[in-house]
Structure 1
Amino acid sequence: MVKKIIFWLLAIIITLVTIVYQRVTGPTYPIRGKAYFDQLEIPYRLPRSHVTTSDCPVTLIVPDENVIGYVEYRPYRTKELWTRAPFKRDGDKITAYVPPLPAAGKLEYRVVLFDNDRDLEISIPQYGLVVMRFRGPVPGPVLILHIVVIFLGLLFSVRTGLEALSRSGRPQPLALLAFIFLFLGGLVFGPLVQKYAFGAWWTGFPVGRDLTDTKTLVALIFWGIAVVMGRKGRPARGWYLAASLLTLGVFFIPHSLLGSELRLTYPTPTY
C-alpha cells in the first residue's frame, strides 16, 4: 500500500513538472527579459502567439516620458517592407498594436525605443527578431478537455512505468487507461483544437511536419503495442516501461514546435 502511494506521488510530481515545462517552453511562449536604455531598466514580455480576432498589444513599462518608439513588423519569411506601429503612452505604460494575420499566419517583429534628445536608440530583443503566430479562437471547454485529458494520459503513462518496475505490480489496467486518455487527448480533442485554431484537423506525419501531432502518434503506437503485448496476462513489463519513458520524452519536446504555418504570398510589384 505504501509503495502504491509513493508511486502515485512520484507520478503526480513528474506530471506537474512536465506541465510546467510545457507551459514555459516552445515557440509560442512569450519572450521575457530585461533591456537597458542608458541606466533605465526595462523588463519586457513579448508575445509570440495571439488570436486572429483582435490586434495584438505589445506593452512595456517605460517611466521616462522622453523615451518613445514603435514596433516594426512584417510577414514572416517574406521580403515585404517593414510596417511600424507607434507606441502610445498611458502613464508609465506604453502600448503598440500589431494587426492580426489569418490563422497560422506568422509575422516577425522587434521593438525600437529611442530618445532624440540624448541620441539614444535600442532594439528589443537586442539580436534577432520575435516570431509571432496567429491562431483562431478555441472554445474554452474544448481546450480545457484537451489539456486535462492529455495530461491524464501522461499521468497514467508515468504511473504505468513505475508499476512496471515492481515485480508484484499490475501495470496492465494502468496501461490501458494511459492509452485511452492519450488517444482521446491526442487524436480526438487535439485535432479538434487544431481545427479551431489553425483550420486543419491534422498537420503531423504523414501529411505535414508538426511535431506535436507526430510525437502524439508515435507515443500512441508504442502504447498500442504495449497494451496488445500485455493481453491475457503475458509479461510485457519491458514494453510498458519503454512506452512510459518514450511518452515522457515526447512531452519534453516543446509544444507547437514545427507547428502549423500559413505561407503568405504577395504579388510581385510591377512598374
Structure 2
Amino acid sequence: MGKKVLIWVAAVVVSLGIMVYQRLTGPTYEKDYRITFGGENYTFELPRSHGGDTDCPVVIGLPEKFEGMIIYRRFPTDEPWDTLQLVRVGSQLSTSLPNQPPAGKLEYHLVLTAGGEHVPLGDEENVVIRFKGDVPAWAQVPHILLMVLTVIWSMAVIFLALGNMVQYRKHLGITIILLLLGGFIFGPVVQYHAFGQFWTGWPLGEDLTDNKVLLALVFFLLAWFLRNRKYGRWLAILASLVMLAIYLIPHSMNGSELDPETGEVVTGTMLLLFE
C-alpha cells in the first residue's frame, strides 16, 4: 500500500513539474518583464494570446512617472507600424490591441519613458500575440482536465512498470482512454472554436500540437497491443517517456497561423515557409 502511494505521489509531482515547465516556456503565455529604473525594480507582463471577439487589453502596473506607447503591426508582414498611446488609469497604463480573425497575429513592442528619459526593457524582441475564437468552458475545462490526467497516469505507468507491478497494464489502458477523450474528442472541439478547424495534424496538416498527440497515441496503442509480450512493460515505459518528451516541447509551437495575404489558416512546419 505504501509503495503504491509513493508511486502516485511521484507521478503527480513529476506531472506538475512538466506543467509548470510548459507554463513558463509556451509561446502563448504572457511574456514577463523585469526592469530597473531609478534604483527601483518593476515587473509586468505583456499578453501573447487573446480569445473572443473583443480587442486585447494591455494593462501595465507602473507608477505615475512612467509613460509609454505600443508599436504594432500584423504578423508576419512588412506593413507600416501603428502606434497606440498608453493611457493612465490610476496606477496602471492601459490600451487595447485591435482584434484579429482567429489565428491572426500581431507583433508589437512597448516603448517606455520616465521623466522624458527612455527606459530600456532589457529585451528588444517584438512580442507576437495570436488571436483565437471564444472557446466555451464546457469544451475547454474537460480538455485540460483530461490531458492533465493523461500525463499523471502515464507517469504512474512508468513507475509501476519499473517496479514490475502488473497493475501498469490496467493503467496503460486508462491512459489511452484519457488521451482519446482529451486529445481526440475535446481537443478538436477546442481547436474548432479557437481556429475554425477540428484537426490540423497529419494527414490534413502539420500542426505540431496535433501531431504530438497523435504520436503519443501510436506509441501507447503499440504498448497496449503488445502488453503481454516479455518486453511489454518496456514498451509501456517507452510510450510514457514519449509522452514526457512531448510535454517538454512548449505547447502551441508551430500552431495555427493566419496568412495575412491569403486569409487562409496555415499550420505546423508549413509556417516556416512563410517566415
- TM-score relative to the length of structure 1: 0.90
Q: Deviations over 1:226-268 (max 9, x none)?
A: 10001xx4331111010011111111111101111001128xx
Partner residue of 2:154 out of 115, 140, 157: 157
Identity %: 38
2:186 corresponding residue in structure 1:
189
Seen in structure 2, the aligned counterparts of structure 1 residues 20 and 129 have a Cα distance that, compared at 3 Å, is: same
Q: Is the 8 A contact 1:58 1:96 kept in 2?
A: yes
Matches of 2:118 and 2:12, distance apart in 1: 48
> Which protein has the larger Cα radius of gyration, Structure 1 or Structure 2?
1
Instruction: Give runs of ≥4 in structure 1 deviating > 3 Å.
Output: 36-42, 122-126
Question: Counterparts of 1:1-271 in structure 2 under 5 Å?
Answer: 1-37=1-37, 39=39, 41-65=41-65, 67-115=66-114, 119-122=116-119, 124=121, 126-230=123-227, 233-235=228-230, 236-265=232-261
Q: Deviations over 1:18-47 (max 9, x none)?
A: 222222221001111212445554422010
Give 2:206's aligned amino acid.
Answer: R
Matches of 1:40 and 1:88, distance apart in 2: 22
Structure 2: 5+ residue stretches without partners: 263-275
Q: Is the 8 A contact 1:110 1:123 kept in 2?
A: no
Q: Is the 8 A contact 1:111 1:125 kept in 2?
A: no
Matches of 1:184 and 1:125, distance apart in 2: 43
Quote how far apart the aligned CAs of 1:159 are. Answer: 1.0
Matches of 2:49 and 2:226, distance apart in 1: 42
The DSSP-based 3-state class of the residue aligned with 2:254 is coil
Structure 1: 5+ residue stretches without partners: 267-271
Seen in structure 2, the aligned counterparts of structure 1 residues 42 and 2 have a Cα distance that, compared at 3 Å, is: closer
Matches of 2:17 and 2:30, distance apart in 1: 19
The DSSP-based 3-state class of the residue aligned with 1:72 is strand
Matches of 1:92 and 1:150, distance apart in 2: 39
Give 2:63's aligned amino acid.
Answer: P
Q: Is the 8 A contact 2:33 2:121 kept in 1?
A: no
Matches of 1:160 and 1:260, distance apart in 2: 32
Number of residue pairs aligned between Structure 1 and Structure 2? 262
Matches of 1:119 and 1:33, distance apart in 2: 21
Quote how far apart the aligned CAs of 1:124 are. Answer: 4.3
Matches of 1:250 and 1:39, distance apart in 2: 42
Seen in structure 2, the aligned counterparts of structure 1 residues 125 and 260 have a Cα distance that, compared at 3 Å, is: farther
Give 1:58's aligned amino acid.
Answer: V
1:269 corresponding residue in structure 2:
none
Q: Is the 8 A contact 2:101 2:132 kept in 1?
A: yes
Matches of 1:36 and 1:83, distance apart in 2: 27
Quote how far apart the aligned CAs of 1:206 are. Answer: 2.8
CA RMSD of aligned residues (A): 1.9
